[in-house]
Structure 1
């Protein structure tokens, strides 16, 4: 199963302080909008998202259709196909992608310990 680019989405209290902290660790801004309280940062192959006031918990995030630089891929597993495969394996969906749609969509699941996992396709 190919889930796409991986990142950790961190819920932060002060996005400016968090940005400075992670920049001190060598991360550089890859995308996002600090005025909207979200940024994507990268250090080599590691990608993190900083989100202020958007989520209750940190989230493991996968982006089908993207590589680790948020570049669109020519070939990838569509989110609706991934969702069908997981449902067939008995994975409980917290939110679901509309299987009759095309293009961008997302679904959410949890691992056995309650860690949220967002699968979010942007293309």
Structure 2
């Protein structure tokens, strides 16, 4: 199963402060991938990507971007994995969320 691109989605308290911090580490905000006004940004440094999200969720989330999120959901269900947030709809963009055995959230987000 191909999981696609990987990033870490970080829950931040102040997106402006967090953006400045990650820019100091060499990250750059990706064009057309969020904004300060929308309170979310996707940033990249080489092959490393992070998402900064202010006020959208409590904990940090491991994020994968598969080409077919419904196929991932079917495979997880077939393997007995409990789905916390299932994919909505039968086609187009969607996401699902599961938790690993230690309670870490993993989102599969097809856009």
TM-score normalised over the length of structure 2: 0.94
Q: Distance in 2 between matches of 1:64 and 1:82?
A: 8
| Structure 1 unaligned spans of 5+ | 66-77
CA RMSD of aligned residues (A): 0.9
| Structure 2 unaligned spans of 5+ | none
Q: Cα offset for 1:6?
A: 0.5
Report the number of matched residues: 109
Q: Distance in 1 between matches of 2:79 and 2:65?
A: 20
Runs of at least 4 residues of structure 1 off by over 3 A? Answer: none
Residues 29-85 of structure 1, C-alpha deviation per residue, up to 9 Å, x if partnerless? Answer: 0121110100000000100000000011000001113xxxxxxxxxxxx11111101
Q: Identify the residue that residue 4 of structure 2 maps to in structure 1.
A: 4
Q: Identify the residue that residue 24 of structure 1 maps to in structure 2.
A: 24
Q: Identify the residue that residue 89 of structure 1 maps to in structure 2.
A: 79
TM-score normalised over the length of structure 1: 0.86
Q: Distance in 2 between matches of 1:80 and 1:47?
A: 23
